[in-house]
Structure 1
Amino acid sequence: MMTRNERYQNDHIVHSWEELCEEVYHESWKPHLSRYRSDYAFRGLSDASYELKNSFLRNCDMRPELEYHLLRNFRKYSISKDAQLSASFWRSLVMAQHHGLPTRLLDWTYSPFIAMHFATANTEKFDLDGVIWKVDFVKVNKLVSEPLNHLLCEEKCNAFTVEMLEESIVSLNDFDKKLDKNQLIFFEPPSLDERIVNQYAFFSVMTQSTSIMDDWLVNHPELYRRIIIPKELKWEVRDKLDQANITERVLFPGLDGLARWLKRHYKPVNNGTEDDL
């Protein structure tokens, strides 16, 4: 069986907080702008062995026909105040993902520090190395076929929006049929609520609901990088993110996020005493 190091060509193990901060901003300097502007989307995972597998595939396995029924019934039973946001299938898809329905979308963020949060938020995984995926979404989107390829040039932007996608693609079946097989795009969701805004949210989507993004990326090694956060470094990264207010209290506004933050913040390290808190 192929090991992780053999499968992923671009793994970089960091050994300090300083190295991690440098690595997430690698290649962000744009000489023509004289500014730092990263072209990368970030996704943090608590276990470096996790695949970039969407929630639909994890839930429904190789049963693509179930995707239509999930989304159809989600739209059917949505309460009336959400009717406007469910006006198109793209908006329904975003809302469904946002509320936990299994979909083919994957969550990403423009913020490397929010990706660090998700790589270190689960203290039950602190015995495992975490990972931050960096994918050059600008180059990825330029590879998409028609009828979407020309839209980015027309709009003079690097990422698709729901409004742009609605112009050309009217259903998931349409998305799969109109584009070439095994296509990947990144798009920005509408600002449904504070959580999407605060998480600087970004989504990827592939043609075919059962596609695994890892399989696509290993064939395009120039487009991604994996930053491995060793388990020994996780507590330091976690504590420094908390000090910077990158916490559940901010990323999940409301009492649920507050409770999740407090639960983790007051978890003793190595069964410490109250003096350790």
Structure 2
Amino acid sequence: MPASSVSSTSLAACAAVRTMPTSTSACSCNRWIRSAMGLGTTEQERMVLGQLSLLGASFPEMQQPTELDRLVVAQHFGLKTRLLDWTSNPLVVLWFACQDRQTGDAFVYALEADTLQKEGLYSRDPFKVDVTRAFQPRLNNPRILAQHGWFTLHRFSQRSKAFVPLDTNPTTVKHLTEIRIPAKRRSLILDSLYRHGISRRTLFPDTECLCTFMSWRYKLA
């Protein structure tokens, strides 16, 4: 589905829980913090994605028509990529922010994504984007569907030899808002979200996460 078919799009993501905000808070969106930050990693990314396609050829979810689709699947199942997870549902991002096992305040980031969308992104090389882009993935997997998933695709700056953080990117920083969630409210928010149908059971519709949910719901040791 072309991202441009959606207008007035507001997205939300959560950052790692921390006790105090830092100037690089929104940078935590770029999940692949590489050990060789001084080097371009595009060829390594292509190689890893190619290996994933070969080794996962028997998995139905890996039968994807484009490289960007394969990046979405890889990101969603834990591979480190140049994508960042977002959601169009603010209740979903509240759950992700508050369920983190770390202590301290949690932070949610809201992004006005209209100007970051571009038609035809799926037909382009995701490793050659010139600016950071937001896009809606194909709703072809239960987790993306349940989580109202969106993504941002981040460019690698050849000048600085690093990925461009959202909070220092002049194109995105003016559309980014930080919201702090006090640590003492996190448990209450999770209970409230459960009453409104938002929990691990509904966001991760599989047997493993259902069992994790049951342990949380009934406070099993």
Superposition TM-score, scaled by structure 2 size: 0.79
Q: Deviations over 1:93-122 (max 9, x none)?
A: 111112221111110000000000001112
**Matched position secondary structure for 2:108:** strand
Contact 1:217/1:224, CA 8 A, preserved across alignment: no
Residue of 57, 67, 77 corresponding to 1:79: 57
Residue of 82, 88, 95 corresponding to 2:73: 95
Which residue does the alignment assign to 2:122? 166
Q: Does 1:128 align with 2:104?
A: yes
With over 3 angstroms needed to count, the CA separation of the structure-2 counterparts of 1:189 and 1:239, relative to structure 1, is same
Q: Deviations over 1:19-77 (max 9, x none)?
A: xxxxxxxxxxxxxxxxxx9631001235154543423225x552514212111111122
Q: Does 1:140 align with 2:96?
A: no
**Matched position secondary structure for 1:72:** helix
Contact 1:45/1:132, CA 8 A, preserved across alignment: yes
Q: Does 1:117 align with 2:95?
A: yes
Structure having the higher helix fraction is 1
Q: Does 1:222 align with 2:174?
A: yes
Q: Does 1:234 align with 2:190?
A: no
Residue of 215, 226, 243 corresponding to 2:195: 243
Superposed displacement of residue 218, structure 1: 6.8
Superposition TM-score, scaled by structure 1 size: 0.65
RMSD over aligned CA atoms reads: 2.7
Larger-gyration structure (1/2): 1
**Matched position secondary structure for 2:194:** helix
- 5+ unaligned residues in a row in structure 1: which ranges? 1-36, 142-147, 152-163, 272-277
Amino acid at match of 1:76: L
CA distance in 2, matches of 1:130, 1:56: 21
With over 3 angstroms needed to count, the CA separation of the structure-2 counterparts of 1:38 and 1:264, relative to structure 1, is farther
Residue of 33, 39, 46 corresponding to 1:57: 33
**Matched position secondary structure for 2:174:** helix
